Amino acid sequence: MLSRIVLIFTAILFMAACQLEKKEIIFPKTDLSKTALIPKPLKTVSTNSAFGLSKNTVIYTSSTDSNFEQVGQFLLEKVKLKTDLDIAINTSNSEESIDRFIYINQSDSVDLKTPESYQLYIKKDSIFLNAKTAAGAFRGIQTLRQLIPEKSNDTLTDHPLWLIPTGKILDEPKFEYRGAMLDVARHFFTVEEVKKYMDILAYYKYNVLHLHLSDDQGWRIEIKSWPKLTQIGGATEVGGGTGGYYTQDDYTELVEYAAQRHITIIPEIDMPGHTNAASLSYPILNGNGKKVKAYTGTRVGFSTFDARKDTVYSFLDDVIREVASLSPGPYFHIGGDESHVTKKRDYIHFVEKVEKIVQKHGKQMMGWNEIAQGNISASTVTQLWNEPHNALKAAKNGSKIVLSPGEKTYLDMKYDSLSKFGLDWAGLIPVDVAYKWNPETYVEGLSIESILGIEAPLWSETISNSEELEYLAFPRAIGYAELGWSTSENCNWEDYRERLVRQVPFLNRMNVNYYPTKLVDWE
Ligand code: ACM
């Protein structure tokens, strides 16, 4: 720790001395406030000069928390991808070759109000990124990545410089929960496909990936105590394909990949409805009175667990225990939507019993808005998709609400009548409609304090690979990132659409098959 501080101090002194000898570089004028940052930061002040990122830039990180070094490492890798520069981190090599540095600093400043808040001070010779936690530093790194220009300036010095505009950025999220949901049950998505989705979400400061791991058409997570769930239930998907599933090792790989991006994975096992694949694997669980057959269509609401059978609850105790033990995040999502063939009193009995199992395994329950029909705890999170009255009921009881209104946030709704993929039961959602709404006022009577955040679900009845996923998710998911992070005063469609078009180089570099909506002027 001390040696790191001495090192940085020496580097600063050395550089100051060198600056005296070096010819002053006259940077072209830049304006930090005109950069195309998404989500838009809380406050930006420009000082109209530039920091020249070059092969001689070094990243230093606080040694008080080893996660800060990981954040620095992440930045280093992304700098390499964008600029092909091999810059050093926490080096004690001769300072002669260092001309500028980026210091990622753990700070206790009271101005850092949330764990994800960060401050970025960009000067000609140094960039200081302050954050209380590695998560905050990670969010700040995304801003820095977005500030690195696509092209270097090769005329100012004998080596290329990537000019980052100087000034300061003070930033923090509006909501603590900024999520995307991926339905890997209707169609299966591989570990690599899910990782690619997370890479793009992380760039826009998402912090939750909710995985819809089971539905009528497939069961996607290995449960060691009930192996037929994946042997039988994992082998089907919409349209008759071969399905697939995550082994517990695969799932852990996703959880770790997410954690490196300060993203929490929320597992969802949907129940008591949406359970045909589970009941196909173990018919004893079935409660709809019919013989269970494999289902590869797209209807909903026909399946249910038997809410009055003890075996169902011992099964769920095993499933929730195994999945919860692999999931470091605070939440376990029980679905709970569209249980149309479960009697109402059985449904309520079920939700209340399952909530206790979830809590026994150390998690807070989360569920779609139907769960608020039960007498649920204040610690349970309700996800609004179609029934504001149930969200309001839950909020009155002290529950926090995640907003995913179908008509605004469902990424599987078509953009327009020409959309190649998607459904339209909640309406068409063009890119401007997806952006132009205010989560803080969307549900009349729901106080801001009750809103945990927003989430954009992507159901996969009509998509089955990354290319199709990206067509529906992008660019809309970029807009939800801003609605979840930036103050409502900072969310302005005309301003946003200008910044959106400037995401193209990133989207192209990431090989993202975004939908080129006619509502913005793609260059
Ligand atoms: C849902 O769309 N059934 C939550």
Cα gap 142→207, rounded to integer Å: 12
Q: Whose CA is nearest to atom 3 of ligand 1?
A: 337
Indicate if ligand 1 lies below 6 Å from the C-beta of 270: no
As a whole number, mean pLDDT of residues 206-219 equals 98
Predicted pLDDT at 49: 95
Q: What SS3 string covers 35-90?
A: CCCCCCCCEEEEEEEEEEECCCEEEEECCCCHHHHHHHHHHHHHHHHHHCCCCEEC
DSSP three-state, residue 366: strand
Cα gap 195→20, rounded to integer Å: 47
Mean residue pLDDT across the chain: 95
Question: How far are the Cα atoms of 32, 77, 502 from residue 314, in angstroms, in the given order?
Answer: 57, 46, 52
Q: Whose CA is nearest to atom 1 of ligand 1?
A: 337
Residue 373 has pLDDT above 70, yes or no: yes
Question: Is the torsion defined by CA of 242, 246, 249, 250 positive or negative?
Answer: positive
Report field, pTM of the whole predicted structure over 0.75 = yes
Q: What is the pLDDT of residues 40-92, one digit of tens each?
A: 999 999 999 999 999 999 999 999 999 999 999 999 999 999 999 999 999 98
Residue 473 has pLDDT above 90, yes or no: yes
Cα gap 264→252, rounded to integer Å: 12
Nearest in space to 58 (alpha carbons), one of 27, 98, 8, 116: 98
Count the Cβ atoms, other than its own, within 10 Å of residue 332: 26
As a whole number, mean pLDDT of residues 343-353 equals 98
Cα gap 25→8, rounded to integer Å: 23
DSSP element (H, E) containing 7: helix 2-21
Question: How far are the Cα atoms of 185, 244, 270, 296, 297 from residue 240, in angstroms, in the given order?
Answer: 13, 12, 21, 6, 8
Cα gap 188→204, rounded to integer Å: 24
Structure confidence at residue 21 as a pLDDT band (50, 70, 90): very low
Distance between alpha carbon 8 and the CA centroid of its chain, in Å? Answer: 33
| Ligand 1 centroid, distance to 411 Cα (angstroms) | 12
As a whole number, mean pLDDT of residues 302-327 equals 98
Using the structure block, give the residue that is written with the tokens 């980026």: 102
As a whole number, mean pLDDT of residues 430-440 equals 98
Indicate if ligand 1 lies below 6 Å from the C-beta of 410: no
| Ligand 1 centroid, distance to 336 Cα (angstroms) | 9
Among the ranges given (16-20, 33-37, 307-311), the one the predictor scored with the smallest mean pLDDT: 16-20
Predicted pLDDT at 20: 45
Q: Could you identify the atom of ligand 1 that is nearest to the CA of residue 300?
A: 3
As a whole number, mean pLDDT of residues 135-139 equals 98
Indicate if ligand 1 lies below 6 Å from the C-beta of 385: yes
Residue 270 has pLDDT above 50, yes or no: yes
As a whole number, mean pLDDT of residues 242-267 equals 98
Q: Which residues of 312-324 are buried (b: 16+ CB within 10 A; e: fewer)?
A: bbebbbebbebbb
DSSP state of 454: E
Cα gap 251→275, rounded to integer Å: 20
Predicted pLDDT at 93: 72
Cα gap 438→426, rounded to integer Å: 18
Q: Whose CA is nearest to atom 2 of ligand 1?
A: 385
Residue 12 has pLDDT above 60, yes or no: no
Predicted pLDDT at 23: 61
Nearest in space to 210 (alpha carbons), one of 114, 115, 355, 327: 327
Cis peptide bond upstream of 475, omega within 30: yes
More confident residue, 95 or 356: 356
Cα gap 214→233, rounded to integer Å: 9
As a whole number, mean pLDDT of residues 105-119 equals 97
Which amino acid is it at 469?
L
Count the Cβ atoms, other than its own, within 10 Å of residue 396: 12
Q: Could you identify the atom of ligand 1 that is nearest to the CA of residue 457?
A: 2
Burial of residue 17 (number of CB atoms within 10 Å: 0-12, 13-18, 19+): exposed
Q: Which two tokens stand for residue 330?
A: 């605070």
Residue 439 has pLDDT above 90, yes or no: yes
Q: Is the separation of the CB atoms in 412 and 422 below 8 Å?
A: yes
DSSP state of 381: E
Indicate if ligand 1 lies below 6 Å from the C-beta of 368: yes
Residue 3 has pLDDT above 70, yes or no: no
Cα gap 93→273, rounded to integer Å: 61
With the most atoms of ligand 1 within 8 angstroms of its CB, the residue from 299, 386, 408 to mutate is 386
DSSP three-state, residue 341: coil
Residues involved in catalysis: 338
Indicate if ligand 1 lies below 6 Å from the C-beta of 268: no
Q: What is the pLDDT of residues 146-200, one digit of tens each?
A: 999 999 999 999 999 999 999 999 999 999 999 999 999 999 999 999 999 999 9
> Could you tell me where the DSSP H helices lie in 344-438?
344-360, 388-396, 406-409, 431-435
φ/ψ of 372, rounded to 5, equals -70, -5
Predicted pLDDT at 26: 82
Cα gap 124→161, rounded to integer Å: 12
Question: How far are the Cα atoms of 78, 148, 193, 292, 333 from residue 82, in angstroms, in the given order?
Answer: 6, 8, 21, 52, 37
